[in-house]
Homo-oligomer: A and B are copies of this chain.
């Protein structure tokens, strides 16, 4: 019948939304579309520009990025804003509520690293590496490790700090870093998560360390990878 088609169109453009009271399903309506979640992830450490997002989001097209940014803004998850005159540049920033989605990313990350199909060797954006560090950090395993790391990836500065228990990560440079680590995200990941010898990475020119090298050497122990799920296992 034609009526169906017509009502579909006029009802609302909710062809692909779950018409469900379940809030988790609603979350998928909000950021379940392709690329929406990675876009949010890239903004989790602060405002970014269009071009920065495009490069970080490996393979996204300008069209997609524009559409997702519009959609996420309409949903109230981010805002588009123009920086004041000296800079006068367009940036996208999460709203307060948008930032509050961070625990979802943590829960997903913690769970999905155990997937048999998960491969940490894929393209890694600086922001997602930083977020993964925060997620995978284990206070128990780290023991008394403390320090202030400055990380430089693709010529952008990020930091990672642990000072008795608490950890903090973010974009930008910090004062008095104990050590400066320069390299690509995959290179850094390979020594933190992939138990690649530090000398190997430095020797190959993938990584440069400036400052207290011992802090880096103790790093892998702070981020124990959980074992992957094995064969399909019944709950018990």
Chain A residues packing against B (C-beta within 8 Å)? 16, 18-30, 32, 34, 37-38, 41, 58-59, 73, 75-76, 79, 93-97, 99-101, 103-125, 128-129, 131-132, 135, 185-186, 189, 229, 232-236
A131 smallest CB distance to B (angstroms): 8
Known A20-B58, A22-B128, A28-B37; further 8 A-B contacts with Cβ < 8 A: A21-B129, A21-B185, A22-B131, A25-B37, A25-B128, A95-B235, A96-B234, A96-B235
Given the complex, which residues of B lie within 8 Å of A236, measured CB to CB?
96
In this complex, what residue of B is CB-closest to A80? B232
Q: Which residues of B contact A23 (CB under 8 A)?
A: 108-113, 115, 118, 132, 135
Are A75 and B121 closer than 8 Å at their CB atoms?
no
Tell me the complex Cα distance, A120–B118, Å.
35
The interface residues of chain B lying within 8 Å CB-to-CB of A125 are 20, 22
Q: How far is the CB of A90 from chain B (nearest CB, A)?
A: 16
A122 contacts B19, CB within 8 Å? yes
| Given A32-B32, A38-B18: A111 and B118 interface contact (C-beta under 8 Å) | no
Q: Are A108 and B20 in contact (CB under 8 A)?
A: no
- Chain B residues contacting A58 (CB-CB under 8 Å) are 19-20
Q: Name the residue among A29, A233, A235 with the largest chain B CB count within 10 angstroms.
A: A235
**Chain B residues with Cβ under 8 A from A235's Cβ?**
93-96, 99
In the complex the two chains form, what is the Cα distance from A95 to B229 in whole Å? 10
The answer to whether A76 touches B232, judged by C-beta atoms less than 8 angstroms apart, is yes
Asked whether, in the complex, the Cβ of B30 is within 8 Å of the Cβ of A128, the reply is no
Question: Which B residues touch A96, using CB under 8 A?
Answer: 229, 233-236
Interchain CB contact (< 8 A) of A24 among B22, B28, B41, B95: B41
Contact A76–B115 (Cβ < 8 Å): yes
* Measured CA separation A99–B24 after assembly (Å): 15
Instruction: Specify which of B20, B59, B76, B111 is in contact with A38 (CB 8 Å cutoff).
Output: B20
Q: Which residues of B contact A104 (CB under 8 A)?
A: 104, 107-108, 111
